[in-house]
Amino acid sequence: MDWLERTAQLRQWTRSGTRAPHKPLLLLYALGRFQQDAADELRYSAVEEDLQRLLTEYGPPNRTTPAYPFHHLVSDGVWEVRTDRGPGSPGSGVRELRAAGAAGRLAPELRAALRSEPELLGRMARVLLDLHFPPSLHGDLCESVGLELEPAETGQLSAVVRRRRDPRMREQVLTAYEYQCAFCGYDGRIGAVSVGLEAAHVRWWAFDGPDDVDNGLCLCSLHHKLFDKGVLGVGEGHRVLVSQRFVGHSPAAREHVIALADRPLIGPQPGAHPVAAIHRSWHTSQVFHGSPRPATAA
């Protein structure tokens, strides 16, 4: 049984690039718990709060529940659920899972494979991360689920993660934006080398976002992370969106985040393609959280 292929082919609801990372998040959480205690069983009522927090932080903007993946992941052959009455899930309802004392854990065959081939756990986790989340969130997500991963063995993953990133995209995007953050204008260098600037995908690579300049933004490290977390976005007229859900009272938070609301993007330079509307729309609907703040008074 090829567990990497099975991990890559988790059945998820999908429509026009809609994000539904419920199963990947649950499986990452289960792998993290297995790494900590291979005999651990995850009682729904005990882990519901953890799973809801993961969905809120790394899931789509719309409200959702961890009960859905807890029940439906069984159909992918990597997960099992039992209740106080015996094997089998009582359904995908929150009340049913709580009342029945539902508990889940990795499928027996998968647990055996992970014990006999310890490096499999890291490979499965990296497949889930690469296929469903941008690189800027991988470290935070691993920390959130308690996963400790060794450096990726990329050659062994290439058969599963088939798309290849274009290594030229970073240079093309940074050149288009003249090596300055499109949100704040940061343009730091050490000698001739830029530092703290990154090429951000607007529509995530994991969701068929192309390695093209019109799907990229040159952002400083801070604003790249906030962009991928849904705090920041790009709206009509290529102006910065700042989520009303963002809270920050310090002068730094006001200056570096809240004050960006409704500012025009810096760049790209004449002749370079600005962010395409189709990619902006995807990010706004699938990543950006809540409603945008109005422009702040000068």
Q: Please report, for the chain, the start and end positions of each structural domain, with discontinuous segments joined by +.
A: 1-143, 165-285
Q: What is the pLDDT of residue 62?
A: 80
Q: What is the pLDDT of residue 19?
A: 83
C-alpha torsion 283→285→290→291, nearest 10: 90
Q: What is the pLDDT of residue 159?
A: 52
N-term to C-term CA, the chain: 61
CA-closest candidate to residue 124, choices 136, 135, 111, 137:
111
- The C-alpha atoms of residue 107 and residue 113 are separated, in whole angstroms, by 10
- The C-alpha atoms of residue 280 and residue 192 are separated, in whole angstroms, by 32
- The C-alpha atoms of residue 95 and residue 91 are separated, in whole angstroms, by 9
DSSP 236: G
Q: What is the pLDDT of residue 181?
A: 98
Contact 80, 74 (CB under 8 A): yes
- The C-alpha atoms of residue 12 and residue 109 are separated, in whole angstroms, by 22
Q: Phi/psi at 228 (nearest 5 deg)?
A: -75, -20
Q: What residues have CB less than 8 Å from 162, skipping those under 6 apart?
A: none
DSSP 258: G
pLDDT 10s per residue in the chain (298 long)? 599 999 999 987 666 667 889 999 999 999 999 999 888 899 999 999 999 999 999 988 887 889 999 999 999 999 999 999 999 999 999 999 999 999 999 999 999 999 999 999 999 999 999 999 999 999 999 999 999 887 654 444 545 555 677 888 999 999 999 999 999 999 999 998 999 999 999 999 888 899 999 999 999 999 999 999 999 999 999 999 999 999 999 999 999 999 999 999 999 999 999 999 999 999 999 999 999 999 876 5
DSSP 11: -
Classify residue 295 by burial, with Cβ atoms within 10 Å: 0-12, 13-18, 19+. middle
Residue 5 corresponds to which amino acid? E
Q: What is the pLDDT of residue 154?
A: 42
Q: What is the pLDDT of residue 206?
A: 85
Taking the domain 1-143, which CATH number applies?
1.10.10
